[in-house]
Structure 1
Amino acid sequence: MERTLNFDHWARHQLDAVEAALETWVPEDAPAGLGEAMRYGVLDGGKRLRPLLVLAACEALGGSREAALRSAAAVELIHAYSLVHDDMPCMDNDVLRRGKPTVHVKYGEAQAMLAGDAMQALAFEILTPDEGVEPVLQARLVRLLARAAGHAGMAGGQAIDLANTGRMLDEATLREMHRKKTGALLLASVQMGAACGSPTPATWQALSVYGEAIGLAFQVVDDILDCTQASDKLGKTAGKDQEANKPTYVSVLGLEPARRYAQELRAQALAALERSGLADVAALAAIADKVVEREN
């Protein structure tokens, strides 16, 4: 498996392209300040992990850059909208996100709700241009993203999360919750990037296993950081899950077992890349390392 890559240089090039695309596609002139709230919620912040996964998977398969860039922007809009809504008082009631006040704190609850709604709709508009992306590919990308965002994915996982606050879950139930809430969109990012190329069934399966492992590893590490890092390091409120008595990998497994599990998931992801049959998966492998080794 090829691992020679200046990842920071590669990632900066990709992120500059994603940021420019979002700057272009997220409107400033939406009515009554809505555009300002949308742009505040999605621009200039976050790790942009999901777009990087899209672009890395597309590059590994030599796929369509246009389709991948649109997919990267769309998946980031879905992620950003979910954060806007999750932070609201009716959900997680958080006041800090990406190192700044949450959208409802800055613009009010009604505007935050509308901004999230508009970002979700915009994601699918971006995926369906009049030209540049074949209609069959458009449909596949829309289906992958919609499924990851809806009841079978992110929204369903959040529902499970809210329903189990204050309850002790077993590891299998916790894993299923996070597979939907966090993992589904990360898996979809890998699959959308792969769909921009022409993967064989074996390659698709291997990349899907990689995406599932990365999705779960990200959440395990998130749970670890929530109880080991300060808010200024995380860019969001630390200790929030423990304070709300929510089940996490640390509360279910313990801190050191959770750390070992994250390493096991990284090994699973890298092994899946080995089986993918792709010549250059250096960016995907580096992302797996970054997910587990990150400190915020």
Structure 2
Amino acid sequence: MNDIKQSLDAVEQLIITHLKNNDISETIKRASIYSIEAGGKRFRPTMVLSTLKALGFPLEHGHSTAAAIEMIHTYSLIHDDLPAMDDDDLRRGQPTNHKVFGEATAILAGDNLLTESARVVISDDNLADDKKIKVLGILLKNAGQEGMISGQMLDIEGETSPITLDELAQIHNYKTGALIRACVEMACIIGEASDDVTNILNRYAKEVGVLFQIRDDILDVVSNVEELGKNIGSDASNNKTTYVSEYGLEGAYEQFDTLYDTAMDHLKSIETLISIEPLVAILEKLKISL
């Protein structure tokens, strides 16, 4: 997996280099770069790159796409941490953007990351124009009203009234799952995957999106600030319905294990068509147990 690690380093450098190309506002430059350099798991870029590796396609062809989705994810975290949203003061082990630069600058830094994510893809000489159009269509659809934004709104509305398990699944399908599914879908476009492989990988990505959220809900209960790099217990304090609040801790683990096995079965069904090891590694990194 060293090639993926090297590509992740290249992706981060691509983001920072692009953001430094701003001679108009030093403040926006610093605020935007601050949240990128704070680190994080880089889960979504890893999903893009791991899918390309599984397809046997050169990883550098996915660098701009991986950069773009990390920029969008980071912008969403900046806005999510604002007082009007979750009002958090710690993210990735560092003070949140608005605690360092103020609310107005944090809002603009998030806006900047969202907007510039598209420009990173457009300026990629490794991608053919038809692929750029398809990739951006997938990226913006899943980041916008048909994906993350609507999921976030449903999540906020769910804080003021009880929601059903189906509604909980719908929230996370859009809020968290949309961008994770986009990672695989975009990589399949770049890597020229067959329709059959793309369909199976999309099913795998759907399960991974739910796994990621269940894991996050569990860790919000059982982990600590040092391990997570953010405040814990915020779901309960914000009256959010989670997999733990609905299923109990043990039940949430059981849900996780069932979906984990389903995702693995999807991969095994195409192991003669692609190299599934990089995508199995994604699942193994997510694995948690009682």
Q: Taking every aligned residue pair, what percent have the same amino acid on both sides? A: 36
Aligned residue in 2 for 1:70: 64
CA distance in 1, matches of 2:77, 2:110: 8
Q: 179, 182, 186: which one pairs with 1:185? A: 179
CA distance in 2, matches of 1:132, 1:229: 41
CA distance in 2, matches of 1:86, 1:168: 21
Q: CA deviation at 1:196?
A: 0.9
1:60-116 C-alpha deviation (Å, 9 max, x unpaired): 123353431110000000000000011101111111000010001100001001100
Do residues 120 (structure 1) and 133 (structure 2) align? no
Indicate how the Cα distance of structure 1 residues 138 and 64 shifts in structure 2: closer, same or farther if over 3 A, else same: farther
Do residues 286 (structure 1) and 281 (structure 2) align? yes
Q: CA deviation at 1:23?
A: 2.6
CA distance in 1, matches of 2:142, 2:108: 21
1:192-230 C-alpha deviation (Å, 9 max, x unpaired): 112111111110110000111001100001000001111
Do residues 87 (structure 1) and 53 (structure 2) align? no
Q: 14, 24, 28: which one pairs with 1:21? A: 14
Question: Which 5+ residue runs of structure 2 have no aligned equivalent?
Answer: none
2:76–2:110: 8 Å Cα contact kept in structure 1? yes
Q: Aligned partner of 1:172: which letter?
A: D
Q: CA deviation at 1:293?
A: 3.0
CA distance in 1, matches of 2:232, 2:124: 44
Relative CO higher for 1 or 2, CA cutoff 8 Å, sep ≥ 6? 1
Aligned residue in 2 for 1:60: 54
Aligned residue in 2 for 1:256: 250
Q: 202, 219, 226: which one pairs with 1:225? A: 219
Q: Given the two structures, how large is their TM-score scaled by the length of structure 1?
A: 0.93
Q: 91, 96, 106: which one pairs with 2:100? A: 106
1:229-283 C-alpha deviation (Å, 9 max, x unpaired): 1122210110001011111000011111101111111111111112235331111
Q: Aligned partner of 1:281: which letter?
A: I
Q: Aligned partner of 1:60: which letter?
A: A
What is the root-mean-square deviation of aligned Cα atoms in Å?
A: 1.7
Q: Aligned partner of 1:62: which letter?
A: G
Aligned residue in 2 for 1:3: none
Indicate how the Cα distance of structure 1 residues 51 and 294 shifts in structure 2: closer, same or farther if over 3 A, else same: farther
CA distance in 1, matches of 2:43, 2:264: 17
Q: Secondary structure at the match of 1:245?
A: coil
2:138–2:182: 8 Å Cα contact kept in structure 1? yes
Kindly tell me the number of residue pairs found equivalent between the two proteins.
288
CA distance in 1, matches of 2:193, 2:238: 43
